Amino acid sequence: MATSNTKDMTKGSPWKLIITFAIPIFLSNLFQTLYNTFDSFIVGRFINDDALAAVSSSGNLIFLFTSFFIGMFAGAGTIIANYFGRKDYDNMSRAIHTDVAIALVASVFLTILGVVFTPLVLKAMGTAPEVLPNSIQYFRWYFFGITGSVMYNCLNSILHAVGNSRRGLYYLIISSILNVSLDLLFIAGFKWGVWSAALATSISQIISALLCLGFLTKPGTLYAISFKKIRFHRDMIKSILRFGVPSGIQNSVIGLANVLVQSNINSFGNKAMAGCGSYSKLEGFAFLPINCFSLSISTFISQNLGAKEYERAKQGATFGIITSVLMSEIIGVIMYLGAPLSISWFASDPEAVAFGVQQARTVSLFYFGLSFSHCVSAVCRGGGKPTIPMLVMLIDWCFIRILYITLIMHFRHEIGYLFWAYPITWGISTIFYFFYLIFSDWVHGFDKIEERKMAKQKSLGD
């Protein structure tokens, strides 16, 4: 029973369903990328390059702190989507309320973690002394409002699981406009420091979370949240942990490796930080097709495997992967050609611009590998096998990447070699995932889990 606010992806044309589901996610990510980019643009233009370095280099550390719980919500979304596909709405509701309970606890934990440990982590990363005060201010103000980001990610994953990708777009548009307006007011108008950019982001994220919560608490829907029902259901915690922990570890591994890269970039000074940070904002545009299609693939597969529509699941996965890879590579070519102009929008110093252009032209033509790896990871997660991408990321994007960086920076301390850490590890994971898709029977992951549950229940009954 699908309503106007849900989308049953087990019926109809797979490619049409995936496209119509992906477009709002694409636009949501586009608005988010634009307002994050505008943060850097305003800071760089109205304060200075040191402030730009503080803001631009923030993404990797913020992702490191929040990535585990974002992965948990992705795992919970997989379970919710599978129950939705099975038409098991009672268990779907229990999973939703457990997911919200986890998000509330995570919000408190991350607030304390970010506010207390930010100076220690930034110093350990080798943040340049002239950048450090601004970085500490920015991170602390950001984590004071981290609850908005955590709750929005949780609630939006619930909407995605039931096929509603439009609501998140509406709320993100509102928060994006608010964020840009507050940036201009605080920084250009009031002449406040870099910390006010984080304050603007925190306020806009809290508003988007409240809007999302207001929609989800409306009674009468399949996914309605009731404050009285928010609690930890033991069986749902086990299921969410089974799917969420591997996804969380996968995200954390990526975040840890990226922080190591950022730490090495920091060793080349604040110009490198500003230039590479400017590139990282532009890189967000390359992630647009990756994010929207990986989320679409995961939801499509979870719902269809719940309905035991195995061939539909494979058809949707194939279409989503090919489309995402092609779009990512087109963006990569555009970024390669336009790097000098686009980097100079953010960094005014020629040396900083040169660093950003060098990174862009080293990695942008290899976005197809990044896209393929993320999409097949989504296939595994949606197919009930989240451990596979966790192990791939742990071995390749963490161990091999860190080993490469450690060795190359020891023997050849040149920033160009550091940039190659990404294409090399993307290529390795692409090769593995290609053969995995060909030779594995990935669509029966959920079936095997359900068989084990039934066998356990039968043995208890006997």
Q: What is the DSSP string of 159-218?
A: HHHTT--HHHHHHHHHHHHHHHHHHIIIIIIS---THHHHHHHHHHHHHHHHHHHHHHT-
Q: What are 243-288's pLDDT values in tens digits?
A: 888 888 887 877 777 778 888 888 888 888 888 888 887 887 778 8
pLDDT of residue 462: 53
pLDDT band at residue 1 under the 50/70/90 scheme: very low
What whole-number distance in Å separates Cα of residue 26 and Cα of residue 19?
Answer: 10
How far, in whole angstroms, is CA 291 from its chain's centroid? Answer: 7
Q: Is 70 exceeded by the pLDDT of residue 432?
A: yes
Q: Which two tokens stand for residue 354?
A: 């040169």
What whole-number distance in Å separates Cα of residue 135 and Cα of residue 195?
Answer: 8
Q: How many CB atoms lie within 10 A of CB 337?
A: 13
Q: Which residues neighbour 203 within 8 Å (Cβ) at sequence distance 6 or greater? A: 145, 148, 178, 179, 182
Closest CA relative to residue 82, chosen from 289, 236, 217, 250 = 236
Mean pLDDT of 197-216: 92
pLDDT band at residue 323 under the 50/70/90 scheme: very high
What whole-number distance in Å separates Cα of residue 324 and Cα of residue 370?
Answer: 10
Residues listed for the chain: 462
Q: Which two tokens stand for residue 261?
A: 């890269």
What whole-number distance in Å separates Cα of residue 129 and Cα of residue 305?
Answer: 53
Closest CA relative to residue 196, chosen from 57, 59, 51, 344 = 51
Mean pLDDT of 361-370: 94
Which pTM does this prediction carry?
A: 0.77
Q: What percent of the chain has pLDDT over 70?
A: 92
Q: How many CB atoms lie within 10 A of CB 421?
A: 25
Lowest mean pLDDT among 47-61, 97-111, 382-396: 47-61
The residue with greater pLDDT, 125 or 97, is 97
pLDDT of residue 199: 92
Q: What percent of the chain has pLDDT over 90?
A: 33
Q: What are 127-178's pLDDT values in tens digits?
A: 778 888 888 888 889 899 999 999 999 999 999 888 888 888 899 889 888 9
What whole-number distance in Å separates Cα of residue 419 and Cα of residue 53?
Answer: 18
Angle subtended at Cα 12 by Cα 9 and Cα 13, rounded to the nearest 5 degrees: 100
Q: Is 80 exceeded by the pLDDT of residue 78?
A: yes
Residue 194 CA neighbour count, 13 Å, CB half: 27
Question: To 10 degrees, the CA torsion angle through 108, 109, 110, 116?
Answer: 100
pLDDT of residue 326: 94
pLDDT of residue 152: 92
Q: Is 80 exceeded by the pLDDT of residue 425?
A: yes
Mean pLDDT of 106-116: 92
